[in-house]
Structure 1
Amino acid sequence: MDRKASALWEGDIKNGRGQLSSDSGVLKNHPYSFATRFGDTPGTNPEELIAAAHAGCFTMALAGALGKKGFTADKLETSATVTIGKDGEGFKIGSSRLKLRAQVPDIDEKTFRAIAEDAKANCPVSKVLNAEISLEIDFHQSIHAGASH
């Protein structure tokens, strides 16, 4: 299975501009620039897209891992913060910090944390990143009406 995206860049690094597109059409000639990547100018950048991919991949992997163990989440909400910094002459993505809020019925926190850590280590985006990946969990066991514990 292949998924494709493309980038077009015109000009030099500081004053040039680019466009990002994806085969799905989610991105279609979406502008990006040095200022959207390294400054505070509104717009997207590769790190933001990696953060979105990591949050989405991890959350989906966690839902799948929970299902394999017989659990279904009421809600999994993940944010990812990707940090880019200087690395010698260039730049490097040094970390991706996942922050998860979870509501899952009928599972103890220890079991949930073990499943979440495994999903963090094994989702495809985690595997491709050569960065430190951390996971902060805010876990709440859901209580369904009529459930006995």
Structure 2
Amino acid sequence: MKFNRTAKAHWEGGGKDGKGSLTTESGVLKESPYAFKTRFEDAVGTNPEELIGAAHAGCFTMQLSFYLVEEGFTAESLDTRARVFFEDGSIPKIELELKGKVPGMDESKFKELANKSKENCPVSKLLNADISLKTTFEK
């Protein structure tokens, strides 16, 4: 399967005093604001790091759901949090935290498939960062 997706960024002004917006092909983001303050301080709007976190959490979780089905299981719930660390102009680390409830599955198989997903989801493969995974298995 091959496809592509498009996102656009618009920016006006300098790095610290400027402002911009992000728009995605799907329309989920439509001129969503971003700026220095939304990235490095606490202001309303989005930033590249949280978008990377959302993409990574979403990709990883969907990958895991495919692996579960391959093994004959269906998740009741999978919740993933991705914490993206920004340090000195780079993203050296991402922490994934997964909580899952999969009826009929044991915890060791769940962890095995979660780790396989962490290694093989397309976003994990893209990122040049140390990616850790903490799992919580709910019975």
TM over 0.5: yes
The Cα of 1:137 is off from its aligned counterpart by 0.6
Tell me, which stretches of 5 or more residues in structure 1 are unaligned? 142-149
Tell me which stretches of 4 or more aligned residues in structure 1 moved more than 6 Å.
none
Identity score, percent: 53
The Cα of 1:20 is off from its aligned counterpart by 0.4
Tell me, which stretches of 5 or more residues in structure 2 are unaligned? none
Does the alignment pair 1:117 with 2:115? yes
Hey, what does 2:11 align to over in structure 1?
9
Hey, what does 1:18 align to over in structure 2?
20
Matches within 5 A, 1:64-75: 64-75=66-77
Does the alignment pair 1:42 with 2:40? no
TM-score, scaled relative to structure 1: 0.90
Any idea what SS the aligned residue of 2:128 has? coil
Matched positions, count = 137
Any idea what SS the aligned residue of 1:44 has? coil
TM-score, scaled relative to structure 2: 0.96
The Cα of 1:95 is off from its aligned counterpart by 1.2
Any idea what SS the aligned residue of 1:105 has? coil
State the alpha-carbon separation in 2 of the partners of residues 40 and 94 from structure 1: 22
The Cα of 1:42 is off from its aligned counterpart by 2.1
Any idea what SS the aligned residue of 1:119 has? helix
* RMSD value, Cα: 0.7
Is the radius of gyration larger for structure 1 or structure 2? Answer: 1
